Chains A and B, each alone.
Chain A
Amino acid sequence: MAAYLDHAATSPIRPEIAALISHLHDQNLGNPSGKHGAARRATAILDSSREEIALIVGGDPGGVIFTSGGTESDNLAIFGILQRLEKGGKVVISQIEHRAVLVSAQEACDQFGFELVKAPVGADGVVDIDRLNDLMDESVVLVSIMASNNELGTIEPISEISKIVRKMSPHAIVHSDAVQAAGWLPIGEIFNEVDMISLSAHKLGGPVGVGALVTKKGVTIAPHNHGGGQERGRRSGTVDVVGAASLSAALKAVNASEWAKALTLTQSLEKGLRENIKGLEVTVSQDKRVSGTLHVIIQGVEGEEVLFLLDEYGVAASAGSACSSGSIAPSHVLQAIGAGQSGTAAIRFSLGWSSNQDEINEAIVATTKAVEQLRSSTGIPK
């Protein structure tokens, strides 16, 4: 028995992408900056991948900067903007950003002299639009709010957020970490509202180690790493051509029928867990979350213990944030929504392209069994 329900951490590679990678590695691709056939073959693949990604998100190929993944894209976006601006303005992010934004925004603000302001979210994990409105003024130079939260799976109202920013802070650049959203929401609609988005391949069934920052025309990014001037001088370092092709392939593979399937599966999971486990609450209701993520809070058990038993029963799930494991303090996301108190378990089930009903059934049985075992034992032997 095995159920992999941790796609939001990393999704298994799609067979067609694994085949593509293997195929490309057999093509004797050179360094795209070379002056020979092998280099030209690489350049052709790189160029077409860039064009395909631009087409999918509705941007310009020149705005696609390939990176090593979501974290680098977020860092490049935030440092790349703040580094070239005069100090003194405000940077607005949400309370529940991924640490790649949370920490890099704090670091960049400290380094370059900006004030960091965190927009609050409601108990449902959605950015509070009215309070965001109150925070915005002409001094805001950068806004970075994720399109979907990695722990909870919330859908953030990027369109409304963008409208407020454009009206109240006309000079602000808007960035959105769309790493979690890209697999579950129309990415073109998100990009349309903002100036930059971060993408990562391995959340979509592509390989770990490649992502992109996609910028709109006219958005100038100062380089974060320096060297050979690749990616129009914005990200030096030999471009991972196979990775670029894989990211493009992963974005193309994502489709609405996967969303519909995942929605049915998470609904089934929610129903099964609710029926079998008392004291279980679904953190974000279905209308406010992406179809692939179900986050629950279970009373009277510890998250680490539930996950340990789920693992023993062959079910891979997560406490929500891969970076905070080992800590039992609630994550900043749970703190922001007032959840995750001691003596409760916060568990994230996240689905992906390979998920099926059998896995959901196994997860329901395993979670029920784990919670029953933990609740019935005090830990003191008879």
Chain B
Amino acid sequence: MKIAVGMSGGVDSSVAAALLMEQGHEVIGVTLKLWGGLSDSGCCSVSDVEDARRVALRLGIDHHVWGMTEGFDEKVVDPYVESHAIGETPNPCIECNRHIKFDAMFKRAMRLGFDAIATGHYARVEKSSDSSSDRARLFRSVDQLKDQSYVLSGTDPKVLEHTFFPLGAMTKDEVRQVAAKLNFPTAAKPDSQDVCFILATGGRKEFLEERIPLTPGKLVDHATGEVVGEVPALEVMTVGQRREIGHDSEGQRRYVLDVNMKSKEVRIGRLEHLLDKTLKLRDVNFFDGFPQDGTPFIVQVSAHGKPLEAIWTENGVIELSQAQRRVASGQTVAFYDAESGTEVLGGGIVDRRESII
């Protein structure tokens, strides 16, 4: 098959390309140019492009840069800013996967005559031809620690049908061994961690400040209702956060329980106030249609969060079997099958709720 492999120059995507070549596929390396502004990975991610090109040279494959800055601005950056503006905590990497890598890049590859795309994500796909299902199925990777099925939970099965994740059945150690054997110039390049368009120096606040007016707000003690302090920007406060808000009068840690842009208040309280058993979702998507009320699932509420038992109830509300720290609105919830907890069945976005306790 002729496969376009998304390459960042890092170990994972480099090994993914190498493995597909070993399997006899015709492989072309593609690095997406997504962000036109400053980035910690070099101006306009130029260093990523150069790293990927060096790996492609080593593999003897062609390397192309595909410019997708416009789509990235429209589908990832602008919604990120808008989401923060209403007091949510978005996950731009998931939006990038959904709209850019597994949509814009995929469609371009198809138009250009490729049979499939591939990335170095840790997840497994079972094509419809290999399963009883009439659609491609997405599973957790073999390496539980590296599993990235959560950030892929919004991917259209039609796209997965033509997608390869060559690392899904490998552990990170095995991947590193392959990289070392192939003597990749970037074998030691660390995994990317943070949002690519946010600079470590300025952080979210500086990024948002340049784009929207930030709103100062009051810190309100949830137990007493008293105003106990102020914050310069409600937009960068996140539910569950404990940095920058100190301890209460009894020396207990305090957490952000809710960010309310209307009343310009951040409710803070102790850990026990943060715990919650229900999550209200919006933009819910199940690959095989909505489940019946009471259907059990395993859910995951953050990129490396632990799997939680939950039950789907009406109106997009899920009940967790045990109380958990509240999840910030704007975050993604991925649904897995209740039995094994390995197959992704759908996803949704945590919605804001007016009453929090």
- Chain A interface residues toward B at CB < 8 A: 302, 304-305, 308-309, 312, 325-329, 342, 373-374, 377-381
Contact = CB atoms under 8 A, between A and B. Distances in A.
B78 interface: no
Contacts of B294: none
Contact of B33 (A302, A308, A327, A374): A327
A304 B36 contact: no
A73 B69 CA distance: 32
B67 A381 contact: no
16 contacts: A302-B108, A304-B67, A305-B108, A308-B64, A327-B33, A327-B67, A328-B67, A328-B70, A329-B36, A342-B70, A374-B112, A378-B111, A379-B106, A379-B107, A380-B158, A381-B158
B111 A326 contact: no
Contacts of B111: 305, 373-374, 377-379
A308 B162 contact: no
Contacts of B67: 304, 325-328
A92 to B, nearest CB: 29
Contact of B162 (A305, A328, A377, A381): A381
Given A327-B33, A342-B70, A380 B110 contact: yes
Contacts of B64: 308
A342 B49 CA distance: 24
A82 B83 CA distance: 48
A377 B106 CA distance: 12
Given A329-B69, A379-B110, A381-B158, 9 more contacts: A305-B108, A305-B112, A308-B64, A326-B33, A373-B113, A378-B111, A379-B111, A380-B110, A380-B158
8 closest pairs, A vs B, by CB? A379-B107, A328-B67, A377-B111, A379-B110, A326-B33, A326-B65, A379-B111, A326-B67
A340 to B, nearest CB: 12
Contact of B69 (A325, A328, A378, A380): A328
B44 interface: yes
Contacts of B70: 328-329, 342
A326 B30 CA distance: 11
Contacts of B36: 327, 329
Contacts of A377: 110-111
Contacts of A305: 108, 111-112
A380 B156 CA distance: 11
User: Which of A302, A312, A342, A379 has the largest number of chain B CB atoms within 10 A?
Assistant: A379
B245 interface: no
A329 B36 CA distance: 10
Contacts, number: 52
Contacts of A380: 107, 110, 158
Nearest to B62: A311
Interface residues on B, range: 20 to 34
B344 to A, nearest CB: 20
Contacts of B109: 379
B2 to A, nearest CB: 10
A124 to B, nearest CB: 27
Given A309-B112, A327-B33, A374-B111, A381 B69 contact: no
B66 interface: yes
A381 B162 CA distance: 9
A164 to B, nearest CB: 37
A381 B163 CA distance: 12
A50 to B, nearest CB: 38
B66 A304 contact: yes
A158 to B, nearest CB: 34
B161 interface: yes
B67 to A, nearest CB: 4
B27 to A, nearest CB: 15
A340 B111 CA distance: 21
B56 to A, nearest CB: 15
User: Which of A302, A328, A329 has the largest number of chain B CB atoms within 10 A?
Assistant: A328
Given A305-B112, A377-B111, A379-B108, A325 B158 contact: no
Contacts of B69: 327-329
B158 A326 contact: no
B68 interface: yes
Contacts of B44: 326
Contacts of A329: 36, 69-70
Nearest to A303: B67
Nearest to B30: A308
A271 to B, nearest CB: 27
B66 A381 contact: no
